Amino acid sequence: MFLIVGLGNPEEKYAKTFHNMGFLAAADCAALLHAKFKKKECEASVAEAYLAGEKVIIARPLTYMNSSGRAVKQLMKKYKIEERGLVVIYDDYDLPKGHVRIRPSGSAGTHNGMRSIIAETGLSAFARIRIGIRDEEASIPLIDYVLSEVRKEDYDLFASACKRAAEAAAAIASGTPFDLVMTKYNG
C-alpha cells in the first residue's frame, strides 16, 4: 500500500501560492488515478485509488504546512503504511522554478513541512518529489515568497511541473523501479 502526500495549506487564500505545489500535485495525482477527495480523516483530506492491484491513499494534510507530520503519522498508523510506501510531494525553494527532483530519501533541508514529517514519524528513507519554486527575479524574504501567488505568466510552467510530479508519484506507487522514475521525471 502507498500513501502519497501533497503538502500545502488548506485555506482558499493559499490555493495559488508557491507553498501549495504539493496540494496541486496531489489533486493531479488523484485525477490521474480517477480518485476524488471524498473524506476527511486523520487531519487530512483523503482520496483512495487502486493501482497495479495496490491500494493508494492520496492525502492533503489539513494541519497547515508546519504541522504536516501530525497528519502523515496518523495516516501511516491507520493504513499500516511502511516507510517505503510513503511518497511526499512538496515545493522546494532550492530548485529553479518548474524543475522536478525525485529522491528515495534525504533530509528536510529548509522545508518546515518536511521537518515536521521527519520529526513526527522518525523516518527519513521515504520518497520525496520536490517541485522547484525559486525565481531568480524575486527579491522578497523567503516566508513572504512561498506564501505569495504564482504569477499568471508562470501558471503553465507550474501546472506542468505538478503534473509531472503526480505522474512520478503514480509511477512509484505502481512499482516502477525508482531509478527509472528518477531518469524519466527529474529535471
The string of pLDDT tens digits covering residues 127-141 is 999 999 988 776 777
The string of pLDDT tens digits covering residues 171-181 is 999 999 999 99
Catalytic (active site) residue 111 = no
Annotated catalytic residue: which of 19, 34, 99, 111? Answer: 19
Of 35, 51, 90, the C-alpha closest to 173 is 51
- Quote the pLDDT of residue 96: 93
Q: Are strands 100-103 and 2-6 parallel, antiparallel or unpaired?
A: unpaired
Domains of the chain (ranges; CATH) run 2-185 (3.40.50.1470)
98: alpha, beta or left? (left if phi > 0; alpha if psi -120 to 50)? left
